[in-house]
Structure formats: C-alpha cells, structure tokens
Amino acid sequence: MLKILRESLLNAPIVHRGKYHYFIHPISDGVPRLEPELLQEVTDHILGMVSRDFDKIIAIEAMGIPLATAISMKTGVPFCIIRKRPYGLEGEIKLSQETGYSKGELYINDISEGDRVLIVDDVISTGGTLVALMSALKGVGATVTDTIVVIERGDGVSRLKEMGIDVKTLVRIDVTEKGVSIEDIHE
Ligand SMILES: O=P(O)(O)OC[C@H]1O[C@H](OP(=O)(O)OP(=O)(O)O)[C@H](O)[C@@H]1O
Ligand SMILES: Nc1nc2[nH]cnc2c(=O)[nH]1
C-alpha cells in the first residue's frame, strides 16, 4: 500500500543545491514533521521485505536513525549508528562518503567479524554512501543480510547491482524542478 509515503512524496517541496534538485521529506529530512503513522507504515513494510536473521541494525547518520530506531523497537534487535564524527575507539573504521551534493567522512564502531547486519537508510541517489559502507563491512568480516533503502532516485541501485550488491527500495522517484513523480512503488 504505502499510501502515506506515496502522498507525502508527491507533495514534497524541492530546493536547488547547485544543479541538484533536492526533495525535502519527513523520512529523508525529518522536515516537515515525521508523523508516526508514516514511520509505522514504512517500517512495517520494511519488515515484510527482509529476512529476520540479523543481529544488528546499521543506520547511517542522520536520517537512517528514525528507521533503525523503529525497527529495533519492533524486533528487539540493537542498532548501531554510523556517525559523521570520530570517537577514536579501538577498531574504529573511517570511510569517506560522497553523495550527489556532499562529501564527508563516516565512522563505524561496534561492528565486528561474524555480525549479521541489516542496513537501513532513507535515500539512495548515487549509491556512493553504500558503496563505501559495503566494502568497509566486508573488510570487517560482517555479513549483510539485507540492504534496504526507503527512497530511490538516480542510478545508485543499478550501479550497486552491477557490483553484485542487491539494494531493496520501497519507492523509486524522479525529481525535477517541478517536483517529485513516482516511477515505481513496492506493493
Ligand atoms: O546514494 P548517495 O548519493 O550516497 O546519497 C544517499 C545518502 O544521502 C543522504 O545522506 P546525507 O548524509 O546527505 O543526509 P542525512 O545526514 O540527512 O542522512 C542519505 O541519508 C544517504 O545516506
Ligand atoms: N532529502 C533528500 N535526501 C537526499 N539524498 C540524496 N539526494 C537527496 C534528495 O534529493 N533529498
């Protein structure tokens, strides 16, 4: 169904970051407010799409966090946040994140060999974030049971598919200066 997700995306405002048409949405920005019914709808749908054999949930700061929190509460599985600042803990892994409009560093803590992790995020655009994350997790020896992203735009999903990385998404959108259109939505 994803009725609320569909409606809210079609009404999402657009701002221009350079040439990049950036849509603003509660799931991807926490702006406008994120109504619990939307979070419920999206996380219930995610749980219907993934296998349950994960023992950690991984969220990328910032907007992966509400999704991971809701999934953690529903499943009782803990979640780790990949942060944008270092902690300097033993074993901390640093990786660089490049998206369609920003560059930065990401830091992984408390993921170790043998962990079975569910990766959840709000948006995939170029796929740059997930490409970096996947190689870092492989390096640690963690197993990714599913990678699920709510909103897909751009060629990131097909780029990762070519690399043998399967990313599941709930909705594929197109963004122009006129606004958001829905290309495909998971039923
Ligand atoms: O597919 P990509 O081109 O890598 O873009 C996707 C990334 O962009 C956003 O992160 P960002 O850090 O920009 O925003 P956030 O802190 O609001 O999550 C989003 O949360 C994804 O992590
Ligand atoms: N909210 C939001 N997050 C993004 N992450 C990558 N592209 C976008 C975008 O257009 N909007």
Which residues contact residue 70 at a Cβ distance below 8 angstroms, ignoring those fewer than 6 apart? 39, 40, 43
Assess whether the C-beta atom of 179 lies below 6 angstroms from ligand 2: no
> For position 75, which CATH number holds?
3.40.50.2020
The residue whose CA has the least distance to atom 10 of ligand 2 is 22
Number of domain units in the chain: 1
Q: What percent of the chain has pLDDT over 70?
A: 99
Domain enclosing residue 108, as ranges: 3-185
Q: What's the mean pLDDT when you consider all of the chain?
A: 95
Span of 1-5, 15-19, 35-39 with lowest mean pLDDT: 15-19
Query: How many angstroms from the chain centroid is the CA of residue 30?
Result: 14
**In this predicted structure, what is the pLDDT of residue 98?**
81
Span of 32-36, 55-59, 72-76, 131-135 with lowest mean pLDDT: 131-135
Strand order in the sheet with 168-176: 79-82, 56-60, 116-124, 143-152, 168-176, 179-185
Tell me the mean pLDDT in the region 45-60: 97
The Å distance, Cα 87 to ligand 1 centre, comes to 21
Inter-residue contact 122 to 151 (CB < 8 Å): yes
* pLDDT surpasses 90 at 181: yes
pLDDT-derived band at 102, boundaries 50, 70, 90 = confident
Inter-residue contact 75 to 51 (CB < 8 Å): no
Our mutation pick for probing the ligand 2 site, out of 9, 19, 22, counting the most ligand atoms within 8 A of Cβ, is: 22
Tell me the mean pLDDT in the region 171-185: 96
* pLDDT surpasses 80 at 35: yes
* pLDDT surpasses 80 at 134: yes
**In this predicted structure, what is the pLDDT of residue 18?**
87
Q: What percent of the chain has pLDDT over 90?
A: 92
